[in-house]
């Protein structure tokens, strides 16, 4: 079956540090890949997505590249801010038809000033 | 549009009681999804609808769980004879069926505590 494995948290960084959150997946075929973010007290929000190999998704300074050869979709940001403190979820969809998403366990990120 | 709305935000119930949650999706979205999220875990798929048709149910959705979307608009999720293991955040999301790779728009969830 499909699965997503995320880097164990929690992750604590200082403001302006470089961020990487690792995500690898197992899926048949050509899944679409997503990063969602959950800020304290809020619902999950789509952060970025990539739908085919070598695509790069980007939003709010975050980036992730779909690497089929390593089955990875690592999330990166060059300089984090306190407002980036949240839980980040990697997810995949086995088809582009907006059927079910399979999520990783989430990585809690805390940025200290 | 105000996004995906879920009601109530919090529910505390005694073991053995029945509970019902409501989800109002974005009006032009014909797909509606229910997920469950326990502490420290990612959301787990329960079921989804396209319009009023329930297209898939997870094995997580035991006989005590039932979901409906009678007119293809709002949806309800009922849990009968609640157990402590049902304590979780129940998330609803919606999407258009025919916009490829849309992802979902999530509601803020209903937190259920079974005591």
**pLDDT score of B85 more than 70:** yes
Please enumerate in sequence order all residues whose Cβ is within 8 A of that of B5, keeping only pairs 6 or more positions apart, or say none: B23, B24, B107
**Residue-wise pLDDT tens digits, B3-33:** 999 999 999 999 999 999 999 999 989 999 9
Tell me what percent of the residues of chain A surpass a pLDDT of 90: 81
**pLDDT score of A28 more than 90:** no
**Residue B1: what pLDDT?**
55
Report yes or no: A106 at the B interface, CB cutoff 8 Å.
yes
**Residue-wise pLDDT tens digits, B40-68:** 899 999 999 999 999 999 988 889 999 99
Question: Rounded CA gap, A20 and A63, in Å?
Answer: 10
**pLDDT score of B104 more than 80:** yes
Residue B30: closest C-alpha in chain A: A98
Please enumerate in sequence order all residues whose Cβ is within 8 A of that of A76, keeping only pairs 6 or more positions apart, or say none: A18, A19, A20, A21, A62, A63, A64
Closest by CA to B83, choosing from B5, B4, B2, B19, is B19
Contact A43, B109 (CB under 8 A): yes
Please enumerate in sequence order all residues whose Cβ is within 8 A of that of B98, keeping only pairs 6 or more positions apart, or say none: none
Chain A positions touching B51 (Cβ under 8 A) are none
Choose the closest CB to A43 out of B33, B45, B106.
Answer: B106
């Amino acid at each position: 079956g499909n699965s997503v494995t995320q880097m164990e948290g929690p992750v604590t960084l200082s403001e302006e540090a470089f961020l990487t959150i690792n995500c690898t997946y197992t899926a048949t075929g050509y899944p679409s890949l997503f990063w969602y973010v959950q800020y304290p007290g809020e619902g999950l929000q789509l952060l970025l997505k990539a739908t085919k190999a070598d695509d790069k998704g980007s939003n709010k300074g975050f980036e992730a590249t779909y690497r089929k050869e390593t089955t990875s979709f690592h999330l990166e940001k060059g300089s984090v801010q306190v407002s980036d403190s949240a839980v980040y979820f990697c997810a995949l969809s086995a088809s582009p038809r907006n059927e079910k998403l399979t999520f990783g366990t989430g990585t809690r990120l805390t940025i200290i000033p | 549009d105000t996004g995906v709305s879920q009601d109530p935000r919090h529910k505390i119930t005694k073991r053995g009681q029945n509970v019902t949650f409501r989800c109002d999706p974005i009006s032009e979205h014909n797909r509606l999804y229910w997920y469950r999220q326990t502490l420290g875990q990612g959301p787990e798929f329960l079921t989804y609808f396209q319009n009023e048709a329930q297209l898939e149910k997870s094995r997580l959705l035991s006989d005590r769980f039932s979901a409906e979307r009678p007119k293809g608009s709002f949806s309800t999720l009922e849990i009968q004879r609640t157990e402590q293991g049902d304590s979780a955040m129940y998330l609803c999301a919606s999407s258009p069926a025919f916009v490829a790779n849309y992802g979902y728009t999530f509601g803020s969830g209903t937190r259920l505590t079974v005591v």
